[in-house]
């Protein structure tokens, strides 16, 4: 199944993102979470990419397990910042060997423990280079990343939007956005993207709040802002996990309903490998 075929059928496309467990001992719990969420019949799921060494191989194997053993359409994340073209060609062969037809094509973050060569000598300088390379293979559909509040490294919103247009023009079939908590950012982003000539589906990425300190850490890393009303609601209850989770479910459900009523083609849930919040929200939406 090519995921772009799912859009435009008159129904919201719901999808989940999982991350690769760091240690093998966590695989049983991970598989259980995926099975729990499978009963919600997501249109597809994505699996984040472990770029180095054994993590890279495990990512592809786990994506293959989700696709083949659990029977869920899977888009495998691929990052290119540390790879050569020869390495990427081998990776794509392995991904294709598991029957995976969809890729989330990303540059990836600079690794903390590996010195990268100068930008001008890298074979993949930007995500656009990876998208163009994969499109040459003519085997895969691709999602690319969009940033409603701009990428933290972008010099301006206009520069960031130009980068997105380049990725789409190079072969990106749909856009998955970075997380955000104020829907006005998404709707303004879509309006600007359409004005720039980007016509593909732009799917909002939503992360249900499950912990206040974790939320602050994530938004700092990715450059997303926290609305004052969200912060003021969470601060008094931050030490009560159950209350935080309940609030997160209510907040995300309101967000999703507003996004869908405003024309969003679906919702991509950042699950953090937890099933309860996502399952509850999706049940309420349906």
Q: Which whole number is the average pLDDT over 232-237?
A: 97
pTM of the model: 0.94
pLDDT value of position 138: 84
Average pLDDT of the chain, as a whole number: 93
State the catalytic residue, choosing from 5, 17, 87, 136.
Answer: 17
Q: Determine whether 69 is an active site residue.
A: no
pLDDT value of position 137: 82
Q: Sorting pLDDT into bands at 50, 70 and 90, what band is 52?
A: low
pLDDT value of position 12: 96
**Any residues with CB less than 8 A from the CB of 179 and at least 6 apart, and which?**
205, 206, 207, 218, 219, 222, 224, 270
| pLDDT tens column, 192-225 | 999 999 999 999 999 999 999 999 999 998 999 9
**Any residues with CB less than 8 A from the CB of 214 and at least 6 apart, and which?**
none
- The answer to whether 34 and 23 have CB atoms below 8 angstroms apart is no
| pLDDT tens column, 68-118 | 999 999 999 999 988 899 999 999 999 999 999 999 999 988 777 776 777
Domains of the chain with bracketed CATH: 3-285 (3.20.20.220)
Q: Which whole number is the average pLDDT over 245-271?
A: 98
| pLDDT tens column, 138-184 | 889 999 999 999 999 999 999 999 999 999 999 999 999 999 999 99
Exposed e or buried b per residue across 267-285, where buried means at least 16 C-beta atoms within 10 angstroms of its C-beta: bbbbbbbebebbbbbbeee
pLDDT value of position 226: 97
């Amino acid at each position: 199944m090519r995921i772009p075929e799912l859009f435009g059928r008159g129904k919201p496309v719901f999808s989940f993102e999982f991350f690769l467990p760091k240690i093998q001992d966590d695989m049983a719990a991970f598989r259980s979470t995926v099975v729990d969420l499978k009963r919600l019949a997501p249109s597809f799921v994505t699996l984040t990419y472990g770029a180095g060494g054994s993590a890279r191989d495990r990512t592809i194997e786990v994506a293959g397990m989700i696709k083949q053993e659990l029977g869920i359409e899977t888009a495998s994340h691929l990052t290119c910042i540390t790879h050569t073209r020869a390495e990427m060609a081998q990776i794509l062969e392995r991904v294709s060997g598991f029957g995976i037809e969809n890729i989330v094509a990303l540059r990836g973050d600079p690794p903390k423990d590996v010195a990268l060569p100068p930008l001008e000598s890298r074979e993949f300088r930007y995500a656009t280079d990876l998208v163009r390379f994969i499109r040459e293979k003519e085997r895969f559909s691709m999602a690319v990343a969009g940033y409603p509040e701009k990428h933290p490294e972008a010099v301006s919103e206009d520069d960031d939007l130009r980068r997105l247009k380049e990725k789409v023009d190079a072969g990106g079939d749909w856009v998955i956005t970075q997380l955000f908590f104020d829907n006005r950012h998404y709707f303004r982003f879509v309006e600007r993207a359409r004005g720039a000539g980007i016509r593909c589906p732009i799917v909002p990425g939503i992360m249900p709040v499950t912990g206040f300190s974790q939320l602050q850490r994530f938004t700092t890393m990715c450059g997303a802002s926290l609305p004052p009303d969200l912060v003021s609601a969470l601060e008094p209850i931050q030490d009560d996990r159950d209350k935080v989770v309940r609030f997160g479910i209510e907040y995300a459900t309101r967000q999703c309903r507003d996004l869908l009523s405003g024309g969003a083609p679906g919702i991509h849930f950042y699950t953090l490998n937890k099933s309860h919040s996502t399952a509850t929200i999706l049940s309420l939406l349906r």
